[in-house]
């Protein structure tokens, strides 16, 4: 989306359908959006979020204000931005992934709407039905999807025996996903190699440590790896490793496949949580929801470059094929 179109979306006018509640005179309710990565990766999710807000009657500049901040995949920036949003006295914080714990640590009062990987397993919430405290939102079920990703990967690489798993071990949700991949991999009798990183600079050494010990690569969901997805895919394709990840952004950057929740759809639903909270609902009483739309994306150009044939049955099930 062009910058002009994006700014039009942010500032477009429409009829005022709702009155802000419990606000100081002249002060619009303010939503703070904390992006863990970059606008080039997560900007389209913000766009989907704002579009849904408009449909629900919340128009930026008319009856709601939106403060968007980007951590640029720098973990140290996440806590700084969370603290900044608290100082700005925003009324709701919307955030995702690795930024959620920082937002929760920054405030126990301001409502937080999250998009998170396994929020129950990582201790963000008390239960899915009653999350408790000031947080609620959507779970991406990342660990539960590991088996499905390995299933579709093996449809393209049926003789797969050795799998590398690339993980940011500083990201709790990614570690849980890695553990699930290992559990599924063991049932499939795969030889598993962990490639552990903490920063972008760790990616090249991780690949160098492989020494031909893998036939495919599984990338665990993580903002740091997402921000360096071009480097990851370049290294994987040079090593002739078919790669599967969670998001379509990886496939656009050269991965063989991705399978996971439709993030634009998830952020549209996050806007519905914000709408309810602005109308007076308490986060603690809003059950955490699960994704309902999942996308399988296949990069045929990468498949051909790797000398792989994607079965027609799998292509028929794909939501998007990149050629």
- Domains of the chain in sequence order: 3-140+262-292 (3.40.50.2300), 143-261+295-322 (3.40.50.2300)
* Burial 199-219, CB ≥16 within 10 A → b, else e: ebebbeebbeebeeebbbbbb
The three-class DSSP label of residue 126 is: coil
Q: What average pLDDT does range 97-119 have in this prediction?
A: 92
Question: Helices 3-11 and 39-55 sit at what angle, rounded to 10 degrees?
Answer: 30
For range 283-307, the mean pLDDT: 96
- Please, which pLDDT band fits residue 223 given cuts at 50, 70 and 90? confident
Whether residue 50 has pLDDT greater than 70: yes
Per-residue confidence band for 146, with pLDDT thresholds at 50, 70 and 90: very high
Q: How far apart are CA 135 and CA 109, in angstroms?
A: 9
Confidence class of residue 5 from pLDDT cuts 50, 70 and 90?
very low
Query: Which DSSP state fits 256?
Result: S
Task: Indicate yes or no: pTM above 0.95.
Answer: no
């Amino acid at each position: 989306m062009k910058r002009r179109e994006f700014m039009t979306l942010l500032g477009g006018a429409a009829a005022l359908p709702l009155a802000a509640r419990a606000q100081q005179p002249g002060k619009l309710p303010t939503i703070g959006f904390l992006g863990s990565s970059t606008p080039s990766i997560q900007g389209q999710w913000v766009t989907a979020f704002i579009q849904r807000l408009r449909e629900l009657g919340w128009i930026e500049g008319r009856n709601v204000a939106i403060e968007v901040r980007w951590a640029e995949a720098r973990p140290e920036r996440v806590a700084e931005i969370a603290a900044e949003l608290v100082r700005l006295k925003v009324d709701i914080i919307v955030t995702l992934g690795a930024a959620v714990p920082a937002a929760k640590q920054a405030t126990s009062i301001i409502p937080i709407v999250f998009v998170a990987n396994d929020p129950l397993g990582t201790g963000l919430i008390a239960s899915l039905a009653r999350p408790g405290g000031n947080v609620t939102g959507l779970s991406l079920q990342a660990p539960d999807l590991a088996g499905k990703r390995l299933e579709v990967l093996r449809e393209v690489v049926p003789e797969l025996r050795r799998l590398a798993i690339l993980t940011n071990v500083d990201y709790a949700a990614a570690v849980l996903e890695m553990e699930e991949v290992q559990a599924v991999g063991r049932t499939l009798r795969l030889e598993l190699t962990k490639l552990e990183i903490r920063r972008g600079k760790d990616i090249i050494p991780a690949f160098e440590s492989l020494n031909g010990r893998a036939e495919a690569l599984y990338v665990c969901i993580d903002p740091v790896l997402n921000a360096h997805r071009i480097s990851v895919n370049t290294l994987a394709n040079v090593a002739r490793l078919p790669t599967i990840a969670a998001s379509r952004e990886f496939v656009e950057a050269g991965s063989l496949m991705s399978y996971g929740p439709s993030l634009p759809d998830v952020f549209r639903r996050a806007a519905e949580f914000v709408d309810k909270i602005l109308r007076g609902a308490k986060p603690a009483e809003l059950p955490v929801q699960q994704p309902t739309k999942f996308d399988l994306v296949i990069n045929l150009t990468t498949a051909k470059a790797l000398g792989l044939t994607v079965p027609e049955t799998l292509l028929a099930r794909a939501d998007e094929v990149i050629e």
